[in-house]
Structure 1
Amino acid sequence: MMRIAWIELRRSNARLVGLLIVVLTGVALLTDVHYWDTQWTRLANYHASAVFVLLPIALAGGAMLGRRERRTRADELLGSTGRPRWQRITPAMAAMAVAVVLAHLFVFAAGGVLVARMTDYTSVRSMIVPVADSVILVGGAWLGFAAGRSWTSPLLPPALAATGLLGQLGLSLAEAPGQMSRLDNLILVPQPPIYDWETVTGRAILGHLALGAGLATAGFLLAAARRWPARIVAVPVVVGAILAAALIPGVGQAGRYRVDHAAQRLVCSGRVCVTAVHQTSLTTIVPQAGRALTLLAKLPGAPTKAVEWRAATVYIPGEADPSAVPVGPGTIAFTLDQETGQPGRHLVEDLVWGAGAPQERCEHADEVGLAAAGAWLLGTDTITTDDLVPEATFDTQVRDTVQALRRAPAAEQTRRVTALRDAATACKPGLTSILTGKDHG
């Protein structure tokens, strides 16, 4: 049987289907190679997004292979042999499965070569995602094969491909924007995670495996069974697979992703630490963060360590940003660009903003006072950060505040900036008046 399967792999359309999968997935990855080539999680998500198109290809390819016997009028001749039907069809189905799986995993492996050169952190769970998606593609190909053995119309392959695409579009449009339910688990292009330390949950992977296994089982039953009672068993198998895929992962991002604490592990160089998933950025960050810590050291009780900001929970679109993993005393946190994993152009300014006070807890911060304190530490009149979108008069207000602060004696300047930092840490208002000396409290 292995020899026959090898012949099928060489002579059937299985190789063509595999080639289409390689081309389409490769094109999908090459459209934005600089986004995913630094992290395994990003590669897995970008690679999985192609399944939206690959499943219809698998359905159509399986249907073309299933039509072969009747299209060539060899079905009666092959049916007259003494071998049972399942033995006759297994080599062809196995050849299609091998072609689909190898093609899908080949592109992921090729992308993995680039990722392995750019990161020191390996996400094993992300590597399981393409395996689960491969099972779905095999299930689609086998269902198409079963359909092709029953209906020989040349319109069947494109009809199955269109059905696969329209079904996915229908699921994505079934709910109002911003609402999430278990139907989202059936969409093969899931919402990607925001942070590099978010990884796919075991439940989400199990849901895809259940869907793929159910589709493959149903396809084999429909193709191999001679009598309708046996074929009817395929219906509850498909229904059960769909229900399992919808129910197992849970609802929304919190069901599909979880925080990978190994990826959040801190890797340090002296006084500066980043997460393990961003370890390759450490050499770029150390000089900038070190300079910011030196500037902050002008103040009493200044932080002595800078660490990358980490989220305590998974980010959920439409909701508030997740809370931060608490940092110890004497530590200040900085953020990295979530698309590149690199620091922004103004990391030093971000760290001295507000004289080192944590600002993510304050809803209505005095931006002018915070900016003026940072500018004073930098020895400039204004300050620019990566997240700042100032109003027209913002720079003028900051400049006036810094100039008013510098008219005070040196010791008084230090006292005021220190007082601003403490007030900002406690989310108190009136920070600008502290620097100008109008707050005598």
Structure 2
Amino acid sequence: MVMSAFRIELRRTIAPWVPVAMLTVSLGLLVFSKGPWNYDSAAWNATWLTAVRWPRYLLVLMWPIIVGAAAIQGMRDARAGVGELFGSTPRPAGQRAATLGLALGLTAAAGYLALVAVGVGQVIAKGGLFTTAWVMQLVLGVLSVVAGAVLGLGLGRLLPHPITAPVLAVLALAGGLFAQVSGMNGAGPNAMVLLGIGQVLPHGPFDLPSPAVELGQLSWLLGLTAAGILLLLASSARTKALALLPVAAGLAVALPLFPAWSTDNYVPDKTASALVCDGPVCVTRLHEDWLSTVAGPGKEALRRLGKLPHPPSRIEESTEPFRTNKVGPRDPSRVLINRDDYAMQNKSGPSLTTALLSGAGTSPCHAASYGGEQNGREDAARWVMAQWLLGSYTPPASRIQPPLQPWTDSAWASLKAVPEAEQIARMAAARQAELTCTGDPLKILTEGAR
């Protein structure tokens, strides 16, 4: 009997079309657009965790669809004027509402799980990193979908007006976007950001939401879900008013758990960032397959860096997101590399050795936002330093903008015109300038340290 009623609800409602709309929007973005979910190690099909995190991020677009569709369905009986007719049947009104909620909630959850499955399938095919950190993220995503379904049904039943569904959809979209944008630019309180349905833009592949954040969001979503269920099943104004209690309870639990500052929203992913080494060359477990590519060139780069005083002794993959704003001082004993750095991509053998020797084994200081000519001067200095360590000069590619060759030609000629001891001193001073992100390394190579 229950299954028969469930099948009837599936046929006579818009429930089957909700996952279709969800998948059309989300997969269209993930597959056909060049968003942040398609780049680097945090791509949506890179690891099990990212395959779950990016669908949560896109809930900012899927949730309005779910809430709006559910509201349309929730006001069905009142708009059709059959409330009294159904009330005279032996089947309890609560049971009819529960069946409707089950149909819409399950189909929406199925659409969300199908989206996650598309990403996970690609991760498995690529041999991406598996950890258990994705489990809670999946629970939160599914619970968000169910909360949207029952809340939309309940509000549609409570307010059966033509504008209810579009207003709810617009409010859901505006609220979700506001929370996400506030999370990126720090414009709003951190607690407000974390109450948003769509996850804030993931930082990188080496961090996880903190347990406090996950527990707080779980409490909040459970409160929303309970409120939607009460509104859906309520038969009196008093019962409908009680729907505010689980929302208040969810907030009361969540708000004290949420960190005051967004910097505390994440904790390091120790599994993904664990180092796997071949002698002095180490990469993260996330990129363990890269070790065979970087080990040989890395050891060669360390050998050539041995010409300098106090040379680095290790090469390690950095877990800082590429394009981070952090600059100097850096550890002089390590050469830090980042697989997502465009300078490292698609390189192996001698070309990778050259990339590792750029700046005499230092990271660029571009994150200091010098802009314009100063960036170009630093790039030119880093190129000359690599060429000196390689023992011969090759001009940089002409496609680089701004053109570096006028600077590199002049710096190379000036550097090679002085005795070897002075060359080493200038190289060491230029390397120190890059380690601390102070001074002009190109001027040091050309004129010497003063």
How high is the TM-score relative to the length of structure 2?
Answer: 0.78
Correspondence for 1:248 among 257, 263, 267 = 257
The residue correspondences of 1:318-329 to structure 2 (distance < 5 A) are 320-321=325-326
Any stretches of 5+ residues in structure 1 without a counterpart? none
| CA deviations over 1:287-311 (Å, ceiling 9, x no partner) | 4434423432445654443211234
Q: Residue 336 of structure 1 aligns with which residue? A: 339
- Specify whether residues 308 and 86 from structure 1 end up closer, same or farther in structure 2 by C-alpha distance, changes over 3 A only: same
Q: Which residue is equivalent to 2:13? A: 12
| Alignment of structure 1 residues 18-167 onto 2, 5 Å | 18-30=19-31, 31-32=33-34, 34-35=38-39, 36=43, 37-82=45-90, 84-167=92-175
Q: Distance in 1 between matches of 2:65 and 2:343?
A: 32
> Which residue identity does 1:377 align to in structure 2?
L
How much has 1:277 moved relative to structure 2? 1.6
Stretch moving more, 337-346 or 109-118: 337-346
Q: Which moved more, 1:76-85 or 1:170-179?
A: 170-179
Residue 95 of structure 1: CA displacement? Answer: 1.6
1:422, distance to aligned residue in structure 2 (A): 6.7
CA contact (8 A) 1:264 1:277 kept: yes
Q: Match of 1:348, as an amino acid?
A: T
Inter-partner Cα distance in structure 1 for 2:48 and 2:343: 13
* RMSD of aligned Cα (Å): 4.1
Q: Secondary structure at the match of 1:267?
A: strand
1:377 lines up with 2:380 in the alignment: no
CA contact (8 A) 2:297 2:352 kept: yes
Corresponding residue of 1:226: 235
Distance in structure 1 (CA, Å) of the matches to 2:292 and 2:273: 18
Aligned residue in 1 for 2:267: 258
**Contact 1:420-1:434 within 8 A present in 2 as well:** yes
Q: Which amino acid aligns with 1:381?
A: Y
Distance 2:367 2:152 in 1: 56
SS of equivalent residue, structure 1 residue 268: strand
Tell me, in whole angstroms, the C-alpha distance in 1 between the residues paired with 2:310 and 2:242.
Answer: 72
Q: 1:184 to 1:418 in 2, by over 3 A?
A: closer
**Cα 1:23–1:361 shift into 2, 3 Å:** closer
More displaced 10-residue stretch of structure 1: 293-302 or 252-261: 293-302
Instruction: State which drifts further: 89-98 or 416-425.
Output: 416-425
Distance 2:410 2:116 in 1: 56
Q: Structure 2: where are the runs of 5+ without partners?
A: none
Cα gap change, 1:178 to 1:44, in 2 (>3 Å): same
Which of 316, 319, 323 is the equivalent residue of 1:310? 319
Q: Is the 8 A contact 1:349 1:383 kept in 2?
A: no
**228-237 vs 81-90, greater mean Cα deviation:** 81-90
Match of 1:403 in 2: 413
Q: Does residue 352 of structure 1 match 2:353?
A: no
Q: Deviations over 1:262-313 (max 9, x none)?
A: 21111223442211122233344334434423432445654443211234xx
**Percent of aligned positions that are identical:** 26
What letter is aligned with 2:212?
R
Q: Which amino acid aligns with 1:399?
A: D
Q: 1:341 to 1:247 in 2, by over 3 A?
A: farther
Structure 1 400/88 Cα, relative in aligned 2: closer, same or farther at 3 Å? closer
In structure 2, C-alpha distance between the alignment counterparts of 1:435 and 1:21, rounded to whole Å:
57
Greater Cα shift, 270-279 or 118-127: 118-127
Deviations 1:302-357 (A, max 9, x none): 4443211234xx99x9x952889x87x85422223269994679653442234335
Using the alignment, how far apart are the partners of 2:129 and 2:92 within structure 1?
Answer: 50
Partner of 1:183: 192
TM-score by length of 1: 0.79
Moved more, 400-409 or 426-435: 426-435
TM superposition shift of 1:215: 1.7
The verdict on how the C-alpha distance between 1:214 and 1:341 changes in structure 2, with shifts beyond 3 A counting, is farther
